A = this chain, B = another copy of it.
C-alpha cells in the first residue's frame, strides 16, 4: 500500500494553511475555485486519501448503513432482495456510504444484533426490510432515536419513515384488467390473515375494493387464505376447477407468483386451458413468469426505485434534512400476458 499522506503534507504542497485545507477536504467550507483547484491538485499529486476510520472516530460517523433481511423460502423465486441490495448499495456509495450486511436471526436475537451495531458504533443508520406488523425492531429503534428507514409498513400506531410498494394499487390493476375482459366469477388465493406482515393485507384490501367497485361479490368459498405456497394454491385450484364449467371461477387471482404457478399446475392437471378457459395472475413478475406456457400475468414492483428512495430518505435524516414526506408509496405496474388476456370463458 502507498505511504499514508497527511493533510499537513497536502497543505505544504499547496502553500495553503492546514486549517483551510482540512476544511476543504472534509467538505466543511467553500473556497474560491482557484484555491480549491490548488488543493485538489496537490492532494492528487501526493496521492492523498482520507483515512475514513480516523475520520469516523473524530466525527463519530462510521459511514455505514446496516442492512439485514429474512431469507425467502428456497422454493420461491424472488429477485427482490438482490435488486433492492443493488439499489441501496449504488445510491449509498454515491454519497460516501456503504452497506453493512448482517445475518437474520429469529425473534429477539435480531433486535440484539441491531443493538450491538449501534453500541459498537458500527453503523450510522439502518434500512429495514422483512418488516412484520408488530416488528420489535421498530419500537426499539424509535426509543433509541436511531436513524432508520423501512422498506415496508408496520403497525400504524408507530410513526417512522418508510417507503413501500402500494400493493393495493397493484391488485386494483389486476381486477380492472380482468373485469375489462368480462370476468365476473373471480376466486382469490392469499396468505392467511394471521401472517404477520402488512403485505398480504394491503393486497387483499385493494383487491376487495376494486371488486366492490365493479359490483362483483366473491363467494366466501372462493377466497382461500392459508399457507400461501405452491401446494396450498394447487390444492384449492384443483378443488374449484373440478366444479361444472358454469359454476366455477373463470379467473383466479393469486398474491404471489409461486401461487400462480400452483394454480397453473392444477389447471394443466385437469386439462383446463390456461388463458382461454381460465385466467391466472401472480405478483412480483419473477423471472419464470414470462417463460411459463402460457406466459403468466403478474404485478411488477419498482424495486430499484424503492431502494433509491429508501437510501435517499436515510441520507436526508443523517444530514439533518429529514424528508418532507415520512412515507412514500410507489405504484407497481401490471404485466399482462397470455394467462389473462383472453375474454372471460362462458358456456
Chain A positions near chain B (C-beta within 8 angstroms): 1-2, 49-54, 56-57, 62, 64, 67, 71-72, 74-79, 81-83, 85-86, 89-90, 93, 98-104, 113, 116, 118-122, 144, 146, 230, 258, 261-262, 265, 268, 286-288, 290-291, 293
Q: List 28 A-B contacts (CB under 8 A).
A: A1-B118, A1-B146, A49-B116, A51-B120, A51-B121, A52-B121, A53-B56, A53-B57, A53-B120, A71-B83, A75-B287, A77-B77, A77-B286, A77-B287, A77-B288, A89-B101, A93-B103, A98-B101, A98-B102, A98-B122, A99-B100, A99-B102, A100-B101, A101-B101, A230-B291, A261-B291, A262-B291, A268-B293
Give the shortest distance, in Å, between A4 (CB) and chain B (any CB). 9
Bound form: Cα–Cα A295–B17 in Å: 71
**Residue in B62, B81, B144, B291 whose beta carbon sits within 8 Å of that of A53 in the complex:** B62
Give the shortest distance, in Å, between A2 (CB) and chain B (any CB). 7
Give the shortest distance, in Å, between A181 (CB) and chain B (any CB). 24
B120 touches A52 (CB 8 A): yes
Contacts of A93 in B (CB 8 A): 102-103, 113
B89 touches A102 (CB 8 A): yes
Give the shortest distance, in Å, between A266 (CB) and chain B (any CB). 11
Contacts of A72 in B (CB 8 A): 82
Contacts of A103 in B (CB 8 A): 86, 89-90, 93
Of the candidates A57, A89, A287, A290, the one having the most CB atoms from chain B within 10 angstroms of its own CB is A287
A86 touches B57 (CB 8 A): no
B100 touches A98 (CB 8 A): yes
Give the shortest distance, in Å, between A165 (CB) and chain B (any CB). 17
Contacts of A144 in B (CB 8 A): 1
Bound form: Cα–Cα A100–B72 in Å: 21
Bound form: Cα–Cα A260–B78 in Å: 19
Contacts of A118 in B (CB 8 A): 1
Give the shortest distance, in Å, between A280 (CB) and chain B (any CB). 13
Contacts of A116 in B (CB 8 A): 49
Give the shortest distance, in Å, between A107 (CB) and chain B (any CB). 16
Give the shortest distance, in Å, between A130 (CB) and chain B (any CB). 12
